[in-house]
Structure 1
Amino acid sequence: LVAGRETHLITECPRPKESWHDGKPFTSKDVKFTIDLAKNKASGSLFAARLGDIASVEAPDDSTVIVKLSKPNASFLSILSQVLILPEHALAGMPPESLATSTWWSTNPVGTGPFKFKKYVTDQYVELAADDDYRGGKPKVDVLINRYFESPAAAVAALRAGEIQFTYVEPDDAASFKTDSNFKVIEGGSYVVNYIGLNQQVDLFKDLKVRQAIMYAIDRNAIIESLYGGAAKPANCGFVAPQLVPEGLETYAYDPAKAKSLLAEVGWDKINGDKPITLLTYYGSPQAANVMAAIQSMLSQVGINVVPRVVDTPTYNGIVYKGGTPDWNAFPMVYAGLQNGPNPAGINPGLNKSQIPPAGFNTMRIKFDDLSAALDKALGETDASKLDAAWQDVCKVMNKDLPWATLWEANRYGVASNKLKDFVWTPAPAGGPYAAHPEAWDIQ
């Protein structure tokens, strides 16, 4: 991999003699096809906004890809590393707008990893078979099955019964497994900051004092201790990595009296009073329900009447990303989360005024000039020695202007059976592993 700072040029070379699971060669044309598709908004790609600085992609031969950027973007390599390469020969004939709903994904997908697709049983499981020709050697196990469960409790029951060997768990369940010698608990920071989004198309939340009042009204430490078992840390901006969080931030320590005073200053009783305000979320776990109930109770004590509404992710996305003029009152407030590391640029599409849908996923329609300027400066900084300071400036603006009411970063837990051998699973932001090496996994 070669990167040129002045030309904003990246050259990527696929491994020689690499093949897809169907035997077709993997070449630079697959990389070009994937990048072009990922930055095409019509495909529904979550990377379209993040890859917006790409000016051109070229594949001059089978082992070289040249990507030129329209301007410097220090986060580009990190973003590109998250894009999974797709087979051009299998998907090139498909309209981009049909890709997300294509049956290809559930009938005959191909990749280049240690396991290849065998079958998918709707809403039950995906079965993968070992690829004997995998470049890293034949996997130790012949089959991997990824099962789906209706609830976390059902997955935990299956794990205890020996029906599965690994699952994510809630903090309460993790505690019970820590004392069981038959299992190993894997714990790590989620790098996802949970927050209350405050829709800037709704007049109620345009006044900074209202946003400050919401922060002071929520006892974050009490929720962390009682509902997360202490396995979370408060977030006073969109970041939690120490090098990105400057000293001297306002901590918004729990102060309901101050919250009431701020609301009185803006005349809350007259502009809204106890009228219900929807608090929309896609988090459907029992723990999330308890968190929402706690937030509802705390806000009610200062005179803000929120009504939680839980929907599935497709419904949530349909509400907040709706084209034209959405029903702003359907999502005046949201309880959500956004990945904030290890690449801090991950929050840009959710906060920059240039990323309002359909350009990005700034669903709260935040148009704060100082915040967007700080984000743009950090994104364009190419001097590695200045990057942390640039992102600290973003943190300072978030802490002062409160585009979100930031809450916390919670730990993520996985539990593995001790029957698994050489099992590597390092928790990563938003789910999945940083490192997995499933070709090395074995089971007694």
Structure 2
Amino acid sequence: MIGRTLGRTLAVAGLALASTALVALPAIAQSEEKTIVGGFDVGPGGFQGNFNPLTATAGFTWLNTYYEPLVTYTADLSRLKGELAGEYTASDDLTTFTFKLADAVWHDGEPFTSADVKYTFDLAMNPESGSIFAARLADVVSVETPDEKTAVVTLKGPNGGFLSTITQLMMLPEHELASKPAAELAQSDWWSTTPVGTGPFKFVQYASDQFVELEAFDDYRDGRPQVDKLINRYFANPAAAVAALRAGEIQFTYAEADDAQSFEDAEGFTVIPGDSFVLNYIGFNHRTELWNDVRVRQAVMHAIDRDTIIETLYNGAAKKAECNYVAPQYVPDDLIDYSYDPEKARTLLAEAGWEEINGGQELPWLTYYNSPQVANIMAAVQAMLADVGVNVAPRVVDVPTYNGIVRGDDVSQFPLVYAGAGNGPNPAQHNINLNSEQVPPNGNNIMHISLPELDTALASAMSEADPSQMDARWQEVCRVVNEQMPWGSMWVASRYGIASDSLEDFVWTPAPGGGPFEMNPEAWDIEP
């Protein structure tokens, strides 16, 4: 049976897309080798064809089977623990972090050393590499290597979110990549043909848009994995993956709520539920004049009957959000209640002069979510907004297309988005989405939000070194988001995985972006 862990999420959500035509998988049916096949890049947290961890915003459930960070979260996302850093310490002022490295080797047999840590940080901070970490690590002053097993990272000021940030920074091999120009790495085929990591499984092959195959790494520091192969199959959507699960073609996949419910009493399967801790939000592109007046943004909130959507379309499996957080320690009591009030929405729009601002135009509403559930949610919101005079047209694209659009300059393509953003366990995660210094290519502030009061609140919270004051600092961020409405905070939904009972000691958490977290894939097993 499955050793399962119920988890929570944090991160920017991605949606896996793939061709339905399938080339021949490795011959595993008649083989004596133990093989686990899953849809690990399906649904939020997945990201089909994602191989370069420096550019990844999702897909860490899979990436973390062959790459590893210095530190990671426990499987319930409650605390940080060492991964490639066997031990780590932080100075009292949160400016110096010392990592004592585990005795690990790369898949090609070379030792993992502090030189690899320094190389990885330097590459991640170099915007020419295409790294999404360039702005996130901008306060790193130096990475020193006093010996092969010690790395010391010094920051220019306190940063309470630093350790959480580097849970997604996968260590990379200097001896493999240093000779390649940083500007060429973003598009290099090395990531999908001959990548080298330190994880329990090593890369074998990628069949374009169809599957990735890994094999057990015999020299893994915690012992050889229990299974011989891991295979990640790509699917067009969660429904296709669920069909493959029912047919016995795979042993695990993410599932939408309705599919998960249908498996509750199904023999041979276990449903793994958990809070997503990903905030779904309506993003206002602040580069357009449409949303300049806060009353327009507040009107959008009052126009949407979130309680009814949660009850009918989520079957109650979601929590309403009044700011960017729902974790109680970050939510103050004095927030504005954006209850459903279409008349108030019309009044706010009239006061702001919406008809003159908008001119009756229909606004494209961009998203990367392609599930039937989200289609129904967006249709419901579309009707509610139309009722108060805000006309939107949902447009669904795949993740690469979405990323290209929202990081581009053609604002007319995305005056409005429906997306997800990490919502815990680290509140500092939202700094990259809301801080005016984190606009692309530096960070993930794709809506180009620039609110001085919000920047001040974020800076205060990020630099707070006194643990007793941290919750209050993040409550102030919540309060400003609630008042200024840089985006429309909607809800945080539950998520589900479904696993075959043939799996043993299998751990999955519906974590933001797929994690990473302590899932110990070397211990996963499958009944013969």
State the Cα distance separating 1:25 from its structure 2 match. 0.9
Contact 1:426 1:435 in 2 (8 A): no
Residue 502 (structure 2) aligns with: 419
Secondary structure in structure 2 of the residue aligned to 1:372: helix
Alignment of 1:335-374 (within 5 A): 335-374=418-457
Distance 2:153 2:525 in 1: 39
Match of residue 12, structure 1, among 81, 99, 107? 99
State the Cα distance separating 1:7 from its structure 2 match. 7.8
Are 1:29 and 2:115 an aligned pair? yes
Distance 1:432 1:181, change over 3 A: farther
Aligned-partner residue type, residue 150 of structure 2:
T
Contact 1:198 1:334 in 2 (8 A): yes
Residue 122 (structure 1) aligns with: 208
Contact 2:105 2:220 in 1 (8 A): no
Residue 165 (structure 2) aligns with: 79
Larger mean Cα displacement after TM superposition, 82-91 or 2-11: 2-11
Aligned-partner residue type, residue 102 of structure 2:
R
Contact 2:289 2:357 in 1 (8 A): no
Alignment of 1:254-269 (within 5 A): 254-269=340-355
Deviations 1:287-341 (A, max 9, x none): 222221111111001111111111222222222212xxx2222211111111121
Residue 356 (structure 2) aligns with: 270
Larger mean Cα displacement after TM superposition, 267-276 or 184-193: 267-276
Distance 1:358 1:234 in 2: 31
Residue 217 (structure 2) aligns with: 131
Distance 2:499 2:283 in 1: 35
Aligned-partner residue type, residue 429 of structure 1:
P
Secondary structure in structure 2 of the residue aligned to 1:381: coil
Residue 168 (structure 1) aligns with: 254
Residue 59 (structure 1) aligns with: 145
Residue 181 (structure 2) aligns with: 95
Q: Matched residues, percent identical? A: 59
Contact 2:299 2:346 in 1 (8 A): yes
Secondary structure in structure 1 of the residue aligned to 2:383: helix
Contact 1:427 1:434 in 2 (8 A): no
Residue 313 (structure 1) aligns with: 399
Residue 84 (structure 2) aligns with: none
Deviations 1:15-59 (A, max 9, x none): 23x211110111001111111111222212122221111011122
Distance 1:8 1:270, change over 3 A: closer
Contact 1:5 1:72 in 2 (8 A): no
Secondary structure in structure 2 of the residue aligned to 1:5: coil
Deviations 1:87-110 (A, max 9, x none): 111111112222222111111111
Aligned-partner residue type, residue 484 of structure 2:
D
Distance 1:432 1:72, change over 3 A: closer
Match of residue 232, structure 1, among 318, 327, 338? 318
Distance 2:131 2:472 in 1: 31
Distance 1:281 1:102 in 2: 28
Distance 1:139 1:11 in 2: 29
Distance 1:7 1:191 in 2: 26
Residue 64 (structure 2) aligns with: none
Larger mean Cα displacement after TM superposition, 94-103 or 202-211: 94-103
Distance 2:398 2:181 in 1: 27
Larger mean Cα displacement after TM superposition, 342-351 or 326-335: 326-335
Aligned-partner residue type, residue 423 of structure 2:
N
Distance 1:397 1:373 in 2: 10
Contact 1:237 1:396 in 2 (8 A): yes
Name stretches of at least 5 consecutive residues in structure 2 with no aligned partner.
Answer: 1-87
Alignment coverage as a number of residue pairs: 440
Distance 1:72 1:391 in 2: 15
Secondary structure in structure 1 of the residue aligned to 2:369: coil
State the Cα distance separating 1:6 from its structure 2 match. 4.3
Secondary structure in structure 2 of the residue aligned to 1:31: helix
Aligned-partner residue type, residue 337 of structure 1:
G
Deviations 1:235-286 (A, max 9, x none): 1111111111111212211111111111122222233253111111122222
Aligned-partner residue type, residue 77 of structure 1:
L
State the Cα distance separating 1:432 from its structure 2 match. 4.3
Aligned-partner residue type, residue 239 of structure 2:
A
Contact 2:342 2:388 in 1 (8 A): yes
Are 1:279 and 2:378 an aligned pair? no
State the Cα distance separating 1:433 from its structure 2 match. 5.4
Distance 2:448 2:493 in 1: 26
Secondary structure in structure 1 of the residue aligned to 2:273: strand
Aligned-partner residue type, residue 246 of structure 1:
P
Residue 399 (structure 1) aligns with: 482
Residue 430 (structure 1) aligns with: 513
Match of residue 328, structure 1, among 411, 422, 436? 411
Distance 1:291 1:45 in 2: 33
Match of residue 2, structure 1, among 84, 89, 93? 89
Distance 2:440 2:498 in 1: 37
Match of residue 128, structure 2, among 10, 21, 42? 42
Aligned-partner residue type, residue 327 of structure 1:
D
Contact 1:194 1:406 in 2 (8 A): yes
Distance 1:39 1:179, change over 3 A: same
Greater fraction helix? 1
Contact 1:351 1:366 in 2 (8 A): yes
Distance 2:474 2:491 in 1: 18
Distance 1:172 1:278 in 2: 28
Q: Which has the higher contact order (CA 8 A, sep 6+)?
A: 2
Contact 1:423 1:440 in 2 (8 A): yes
Distance 2:93 2:497 in 1: 43
State the Cα distance separating 1:431 from its structure 2 match. 2.1
Name stretches of at least 5 consecutive residues in structure 1 with no aligned partner.
Answer: none
Distance 1:358 1:142, change over 3 A: closer
